[in-house]
């Protein structure tokens, strides 16, 4: 009976939320305005689409990144760490992401799951340095935040402050602040 007094251990024991800025070859276009095409002004359509996206799409949306080429434009950072053997409690995490290459159009998020002596990633399969093409996990989708048009079109890199609220129901709420 004494063995039932022990608190069971949960596996994975820990989770780490990572982020890295990237420059997608094409994926960013799904969130970009069309503008003028073949002499047609589609800005009214763009406004309608942007309004619809902000109303129904998550600010960080899941994408199978192994299908979409990109380059890493800054250092990866740990956004948050979770200990699954402790009771969940609301928390706020904040980090600064600083792209080093102009043209950055997205920030990618993924989780690493830490078990006894090994880690399972849902993101980068190997270390990737700035300016190189990453290899993403094929069996998982990663979270993508597309930078707004006014940020993508800047001639210099600006940092992004990422605030993540971990709610008592397990949800992650993302907030982004762009520095000038």
Tell me: pLDDT of 1 over 60.
no
pLDDT tens-digit readout, 4-58: 667 777 788 899 999 999 999 999 988 888 888 899 888 888 888 888 877 777 8
Domain ranges of the chain: 2-178
- In 3D space, the residue among 114, 180, 159 whose CA is nearest the CA of residue 19 turns out to be 159
Residue-wise pLDDT tens digits, 164-178: 999 888 889 999 999
The two beta strands, 106-114 and 119-121, are antiparallel
User: What pLDDT is recorded for position 131?
Assistant: 96
Q: Which CATH architecture has domain 2-178?
A: Distorted Sandwich (2.70)
**Neighbour count for residue 85 (Cβ, 10 Å):** 12
Cα–Cα distance between 85 and 143 in angstroms, integer?
A: 25
């Amino acid at each position: 009976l004494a063995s039932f007094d022990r608190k069971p251990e949960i596996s994975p024991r820990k989770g780490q939320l990572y982020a890295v800025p990237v420059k997608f070859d094409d994926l960013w276009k799904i969130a970009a305005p069309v503008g003028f095409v073949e002499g047609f002004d589609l800005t009214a359509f763009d406004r309608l689409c942007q309004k619809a996206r902000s109303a129904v799409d998550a600010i960080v949306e899941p994408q199978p990144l192994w299908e979409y080429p990109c380059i890493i434009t800054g250092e990866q950072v740990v956004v948050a760490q979770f200990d699954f053997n402790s009771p969940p409690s609301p928390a706020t995490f904040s980090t600064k992401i600083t792209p080093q290459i102009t043209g950055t159009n997205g920030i990618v998020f993924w989780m690493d799951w830490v078990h006894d002596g090994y880690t399972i990633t849902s993101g980068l399969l190997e270390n990737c340095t700035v300016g190189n093409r990453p290899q993403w996990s094929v069996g998982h989708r990663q979270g993508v935040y597309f930078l707004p048009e006014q940020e993508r079109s800047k001639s210099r890199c600006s940092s992004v402050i990422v605030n993540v609220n971990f709610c008592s129901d397990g949800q992650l709420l993302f907030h982004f602040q762009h520095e000038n």
